[in-house]
Amino acid sequence: MGWDSLYPQLLAAGVSDARVLEAMASIPRESFLAPHQYGEAYTDRALPIACGQTISQPIVVGLMTQALMLTGQEKVLEVGTGSGYQAAILSRLCRRLYSLERHRDLHTTATARFQDLRLRNITTLLGDGWRGWPEQGPFDRIIVTAAADEIPQTLTEQLTVGGIMVIPVGEQYQDQQMLRIYRSEQGFHVEELFPVRFVPMVRGLATGGRY
């Protein structure tokens, strides 16, 4: 089972942006999994990774990426590096990606994977996702890969005018809603996209770090 089996599932789910599909085809999902999971790399399932986290199912990755409406010129913040799979796909579609992770082991492993895959436009940081990365902001796009119980104001403030944030919001381990938030000169507009279930977005660092 490989990309050829996953591709029609993505199309059927509404992932229709040719650039997104091309980026997903170019990134081997097995590179972000443990060897015993290689046989499941192209199933449309979330899979467990270290630190009690998951690698999102490919359809959700595709839909979230598509929702960012990337043109290739954007400066993007990702909150929750995790395995690095989502970041690797984003790196094919934006100018520069800044990715935050609160778990040291995940941060270290993902950074090494980016180097192995020669993804040179990704900058990583061990940090608190609720704080964002104000030193590198503002950002044209922000993507959050864990569910917040509310929209983090610290992140919306780091969006440029005209920027977009995609984030799952809802109660822990219950049905959540994927939101797309637009920032205009008049304020913020929130659009509901589709229901999801993500691991919770936790404040602070798991194992030490910069702040």
Number of continuous H segments (helices) and E segments (strands) in the chain: 6, 9
Task: Give, in order, the Cα–Cα distances in Å from 95 to each of 72, 74, 90, 98.
Answer: 6, 5, 9, 10
- Beta-carbon contacts of 196 under 8 Å, excluding residues fewer than 6 positions away, are 60, 147, 168, 175, 176, 177, 178
C-alpha distances out from residue 29 to 45, 49, 52, 109, 148, Å: 12, 13, 19, 15, 26
**Catalytic option among 5, 16, 26, 56:** 56
What is residue 56's DSSP assignment? P
Alpha-carbon span 28 to 202, nearest angstrom: 28
Surface-to-core class of residue 74, CB atoms within 10 Å of its CB (0-12 exposed, 13-18 middle, 19+ buried) = buried
Backbone angles phi, psi at 135, to 5 degrees: -65, -25
Q: Residue 85 — left, alpha, or beta (φ > 0 → left; ψ -120 to 50 → alpha)?
A: alpha
| Residue 56 falls in the annotated catalytic set | yes
User: Would you please indicate which residues are annotated as catalytic (active-site) residues?
Assistant: 56
